[in-house]
């Protein structure tokens, strides 16, 4: 069974729901005993800093079961929250801040260079994503997976949508984070690579232009991890609902398993134009699960519930083999019935009229 791990970017907020630039102070409260290491001493789970001082990032250890992953998520969210509490704040899984905020860049040489090179694009990147890693046996298998999962990734944007507000206003999007993130020059869907050599060549060519600082800024929707033998899927909003995170991880592992099996069987990747995936991702960020999504395999709009269930059906054999089907179907049914956490944020604001109440509700849900 393939292992999976999750990196979550979290906001640090005060009692009024405003993000606070206290990451450095919060991280000083975390000692080495609060990091997880493997038998070689390598860190396999941690709380670390991020691009903005109003953020922390957590990373779980590699997990084999969804129950184990859920426990890991709870552990690292709790440790991030404990660190934030030492500054009088809380850690919350919000993909954007509902209340107005002036982002502050973390003072490191690399991040300062990013601020200088990318101007307002960097300055507004106070956004929080959820990155899922799934193990692969080789780079060849990894690239084969990237070529075959690309058309399904917009569905994960819709399922995880958790960022309707930006600088105190309703953006009209379910995932505005996905719009902000795509301002980076390397972000978004990729063409079919076909081989490791082509993948590596594309990465090298992008860095060689001088537009990107390094390979770490190759922000594909899905990529080969530079640090681990994994495929890293980077499209989802961070979600306060832990079951949604587990669902996204289960679907990503299902996609990796299904795609690897297709590759071994000699099945070619679907011939989906990259531009169509860009359009589908925009629609997913705009609509969430309300109305239609773009079915990239037909090029036509379809009700969101139908597109989501098509994804589940596509990976069903892999879900069955991993024992994940029951949880996936239950959480999908719940989200389709209750809506996304973007819908929940809007419902809280409609009830209370205060964006600070939206943040407090998301804090409660993050640590429930």
Domain residue limits at 299: 4-366
* Residue 104 CB coordination number (10 Å): 17
- Residue 94 belongs to domain with CATH number: 3.30.590.20
The pLDDT-based confidence of 42 (bands split at 50, 70, 90) is: very low
SS3 string, 3-33, reads: CEEEEEEEEEECCCCCECCCHHHHHHCCCHH
The pLDDT-based confidence of 144 (bands split at 50, 70, 90) is: very high
pLDDT at 34: 53
Total count of domains within the chain: 1
pLDDT in tens, 293-326: 999 999 999 999 999 999 999 999 999 999 999 9
pLDDT at 32 over 70: no
pLDDT in tens, 148-197: 999 999 999 999 999 999 999 999 999 999 999 999 999 999 999 999 99
* Residue 256 CB coordination number (10 Å): 30
């Amino acid at each position: 069974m393939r292992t999976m791990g999750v990196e979550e970017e979290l906001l640090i907020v005060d009692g009024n729901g405003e993000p606070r630039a206290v990451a450095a102070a919060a991280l000083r409260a975390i000692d080495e005993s609060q990091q997880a290491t493997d038998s070689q001493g390598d860190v396999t789970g941690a709380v670390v800093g991020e691009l903005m001082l109003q953020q922390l990032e957590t990373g779980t250890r590699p997990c084999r079961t969804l129950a184990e992953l859920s426990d890991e998520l709870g552990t690292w969210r709790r440790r991030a929250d404990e660190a934030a509490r030492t500054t009088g704040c809380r850690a919350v899984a919000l993909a954007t801040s509902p209340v107005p905020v002036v982002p502050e860049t973390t003072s490191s040489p690399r991040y300062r260079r990013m601020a200088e090179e990318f101007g307002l694009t960097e300055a507004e990147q106070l956004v929080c994503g959820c990155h899922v890693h799934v193990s692969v046996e080789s780079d060849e298998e990894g690239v084969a997976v990237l070529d075959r999962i690309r058309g399904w990734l917009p569905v994960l944007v819709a399922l995880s949508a958790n960022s309707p507000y930006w600088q105190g206003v309703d953006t009209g999007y379910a995932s505005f984070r996905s719009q902000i993130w795509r301002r980076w020059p390397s972000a978004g869907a990729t063409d079919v690579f076909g081989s490791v050599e082509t993948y590596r060549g594309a990465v090298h060519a992008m860095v060689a232009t001088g537009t990107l600082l390094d390979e770490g800024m190759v922000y594909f929707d899905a990529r080969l991890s530079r640090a681990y033998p994994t495929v890293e899927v980077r499209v989802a909003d961070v979600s306060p609902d832990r079951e949604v995170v587990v669902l996204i991880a289960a679907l990503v592992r299902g996609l990796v398993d299904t795609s690897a099996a297709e590759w071994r069987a000699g099945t070619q990747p679907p011939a989906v134009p990259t531009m169509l995936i860009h359009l589908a991702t925009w629609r997913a960020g705009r609509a969430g699960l309300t109305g239609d999504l773009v079915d990239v395999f037909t090029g036509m709009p379809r009700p969101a519930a139908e597109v989501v269930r098509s994804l589940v059906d596509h990976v069903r054999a892999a879900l069955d083999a991993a024992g994940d089907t029951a949880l996936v179907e239950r959480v999908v049914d719940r989200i389709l019935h209750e809506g996304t956490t973007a819908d929940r944020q809007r419902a809280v604001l409609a009830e209370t009229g205060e964006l600070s109440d939206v943040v407090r509700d998301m804090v409660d849900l993050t640590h429930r």
